[in-house]
Amino acid sequence: MTDETLIDWDDAFANAAYIPDGASYPERWAQDAAAFRAQARARLDLPYGEAPREGLDLFLPDAAPLGLMVFVHGGFWLAFDKSHWSHFGSGALARGWAVAMPSYTLAPEMRIAGMTRQIAQAVARAGQEVSGPIRLCGHSAGGHLVSRMACADAPLPDAVATRIDRVVSVSGLHDLRPLMRHSMNDRLQLDAAEARAESPALNAPRGGVRLTAWVGAAERPEFLRQSALLAESWSRQGAQISLVAEPGRHHFDVLDGLRDSDHPLTRAVLDG
């Protein structure tokens, strides 16, 4: 008997069906993000490449930034763009940090390896605008992409990579192999080689980066496993990595701490 018969992988990665009023979150995020952009000091739609979705929004504090936080959105590499998430930069902005939020090309137009390259480009572009340390944070598929930036083989220029000293993967996906058995793989087009190469938990961490795998304690078991797996794999390789399961939080409200400048999630990203 194989694991395909034991595990319903579509259900394992399902979130909204297990969250009260889960389907309402994207619209609420979009409304809150639009309200935030309307009053923020921002430079919107800065290009980091030539493709239509290769752009980022840069939010700036009132004084000279202490550094740069880059937030990468989720959506299983299939959905959303930067416009849904602007308000999750408010905690870092209140602490005096600039916040960049990129979009990236979605599947099936782009494979995940290509998205990894795009995020590296976006981080490098944002780093040209803001000096000082760079901190990365991403949610779900975005958690995967920022974890890839902490891998030894991340496609980052050395001058940018050395500025990245903290990464927080929020409810991140770090082992992509199960997704080959998910119906979404019709669009992701993952094969065994790409799933292996693009799984942070199966790769070597880059030295000098402290990573936090942050997950809601009330999330689906697979998301808890994904964070625990990264923590176990990288700790065995000598990485500075910690695992936090935030009590009472599910896959959607686990991001809310980023709106509070003093929340432990915001501190995990910014405090060195």
pLDDT digit string (tens) for 78-124? 999 999 999 999 999 999 999 999 999 999 999 999 999 999 999 99
pTM for the full predicted model: 0.96
Could you give the number of structural domains in the chain?
1
Given a cut of 80, is residue 1 above it in pLDDT?
Answer: no
Instruction: Return the DSSP state at 68.
Output: E
Contact 212, 226 (CB under 8 A): no
**Where in the sequence is the domain holding 55, given as residue range(s)?**
3-270
pLDDT for 128-186, tens place per residue? 999 999 999 999 999 999 999 999 999 999 999 999 999 999 999 999 999 999 999 99
> DSSP letters of 205-266?
BPTT-EEEEEEETTS-HHHHHHHHHHHHHHHHTT-EEEEEEETT--TTGGGGGGGSTTSHHH
Q: How far apart are CA 199 and CA 151, in angstroms?
A: 10
Q: The domain spanning residue 39 has which CATH number?
A: 3.40.50.1820
